[in-house]
């Protein structure tokens, strides 16, 4: 099955650094708890409803997706995959290529630097404001939307177009 595909790349929201807690188990901090739902609202407002979500098993990614998905009309199926924790761009690309053919929109929730590197590798050297911003920094809660035509298994570096790059932020209580 070919046709237009959409890959949504979501970096986990801001996490805490509690003393004595292993990196894999770090939770979101107060800002992350505000920003993760904002990421979900941003996806909903853009009409981005994934057919499948691949999420790292790290606590901060699971929390990010749990809060973001609560903002969607329908929560898509999610697979928590330990291979995504700390994965590099080559591994991430391999995971994306494994997506089932019926999936039209795939959302990947993970970590930097792998997510930023994957975004830049897939989009190549094309000019554009979205790409310039993603190249400069891919902050926590950053969301990139890439599109291309063809099956997941044939996704190649430089073959996708970065159609959106957003950094949703939630508001603090009492602030406007």
pLDDT number for residue 137: 76
**What does pTM read for this prediction?**
0.92
pLDDT number for residue 176: 44
Left if phi > 0, otherwise alpha if psi is -120 to 50, otherwise beta: which for 150? Answer: left
Supply the DSSP string of 91-151, one letter for each residue.
Answer: HHHHHHHTS-TT-SEEEEEE-TTHHHHHHHHHHTT---HHHHHHHH---TT-EEEEEEES-
pLDDT at 171 over 90: no
Which token pair is 99?
């997506």
pLDDT at 162 over 60: yes
Gap between the Cα atoms of 56 and 74, Å rounded? 21
The average pLDDT across 4-18 equals 96
Q: With pLDDT > 90 as the criterion, what percentage of the chain qualifies?
A: 81
Gap between the Cα atoms of 145 and 131, Å rounded? 11
Gap between the Cα atoms of 87 and 84, Å rounded? 5
Gap between the Cα atoms of 68 and 39, Å rounded? 6
pLDDT at 48 over 50: yes
Q: Which CATH number fits domain 4-166: 2.40.50.100, 3.40.50.1240, 3.40.50.2020, 3.90.870.10?
A: 3.40.50.1240
């Amino acid at each position: 099955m070919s046709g237009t595909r959409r890959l949504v790349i979501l970096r986990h929201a801001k996490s805490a650094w509690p003393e004595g807690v292993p990196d894999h188990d770090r939770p979101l901090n107060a800002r992350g708890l505000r920003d993760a739902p904002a990421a979900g609202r941003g996806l909903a407002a853009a009409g981005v409803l994934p057919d499948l979500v691949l999420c790292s098993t790290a606590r901060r990614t699971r929390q990010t997706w749990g809060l973001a998905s609560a903002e969607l009309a329908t929560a898509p199926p999610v697979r928590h995959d330990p291979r995504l924790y700390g994965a590099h761009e080559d591994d991430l690309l391999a995971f994306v290529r494994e997506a089932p053919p019926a999936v039209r929109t795939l959302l990947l929730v993970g970590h930097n630097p792998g997510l930023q590197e994957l975004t830049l590798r897939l989009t190549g050297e094309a000019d554009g404001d979205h790409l310039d911003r993603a190249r400069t920094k891919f902050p926590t809660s950053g969301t990139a939307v890439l599109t291309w035509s063809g099956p997941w298994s044939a996704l190649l570096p430089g073959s996708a177009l970065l159609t959106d790059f957003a950094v949703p932020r939630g508001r603090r209580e009492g602030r406007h």
